[in-house]
Structure 1
Amino acid sequence: MGQTFEDLEIWKRGCRLAVATYEVLADAKDWGLRDQMQRAAVSVPSNIAEGYERTPKDFIRFLVIAKGSCAELRTQTYIAERVKLLPPDQCKPLIDESKQLSRMIQALINNRKQSLIT
């Protein structure tokens, strides 16, 4: 593992996902859904960073929260597409990246849990 949370690829990708979410929602008029999506997106790298700075057990807990935020963002993106807040070509990259990031977070959770056992 890296020396700081900034060295973690999942943190970097989480930040990129948050920025991409802000960019696609820049002109969105549905303030409620826009706010929820932005908060979920920002929550991913924020929880990774916060957990990293805590105990190993806490880090796992915060990774689980970050993974949940990925699922939340994905759900909200599906809704944004269905209510025509965002077009499908803007939703697909967010959905695909949040799925990939969820898998990466789960792999790190598994790795960290194994490290606690051994």
Structure 2
Amino acid sequence: MEKTEFKFEDLKIYQRALDLVNIVYETCENFPNSENYNLTSQFKRASVSIALNIAEGSGDTDAQFNRFLQIALNSLKECVVCATIAERQNFIDSNRDILIREKLQELSKMITSLQKYLKKNTKN
């Protein structure tokens, strides 16, 4: 039986969001158990939210997709804060923080570029 693929799964921005989820889950493995229902949970949920909102908005109108991308961007900002807290609490080292921030910055640029493109198309 052949695997069914959905159109949004081909989007580079969606693939990058999934890459971020992998990094966040891997990173959270090293957090103390006392953070399971605190920072670990929040960091994972925020990263997953990025991918979910990209997927959810992709099949809709440009205006609606833009709205979902804004929600994804807000979740991305949550990830920035989570990474900062993790470093300040010595749950991650500066190299891991840099890696996460680089992935977040790349994804942020992709989201904002796509938003600009969608807004331009909406006006035409």
CA distance in 2, matches of 1:38, 1:44: 10
2:3 equivalent in structure 1: none
Residue type of the alignment partner of 1:5: F
C-alpha deviation, 1:105, in angstroms: 0.3
1:114 to 93, 112, 120: 120
- Which of the pair has more CA radius of gyration? 2
2:90 to 72, 84, 91: 84
The number of equivalent residue pairs is: 116
C-alpha deviation, 1:54, in angstroms: 2.3
2:61 equivalent in structure 1: 55
C-alpha deviation, 1:55, in angstroms: 2.4
1:71 equivalent in structure 2: 77
Q: Say whether the 8 Å CA contact 2:80–2:101 is kept in structure 1.
A: yes
Instruction: Give the TM-score normalised by the residue count of structure 1.
Output: 0.93
Residue type of the alignment partner of 1:10: I
CA distance in 1, matches of 2:74, 2:103: 14
Residue type of the alignment partner of 2:14: W
CA distance in 2, matches of 1:111, 1:54: 15
CA distance in 2, matches of 1:59, 1:71: 18
Q: Percent identity?
A: 34
CA distance in 2, matches of 1:68, 1:103: 13
Unpaired runs of 5+ residues, structure 2, are 1-5
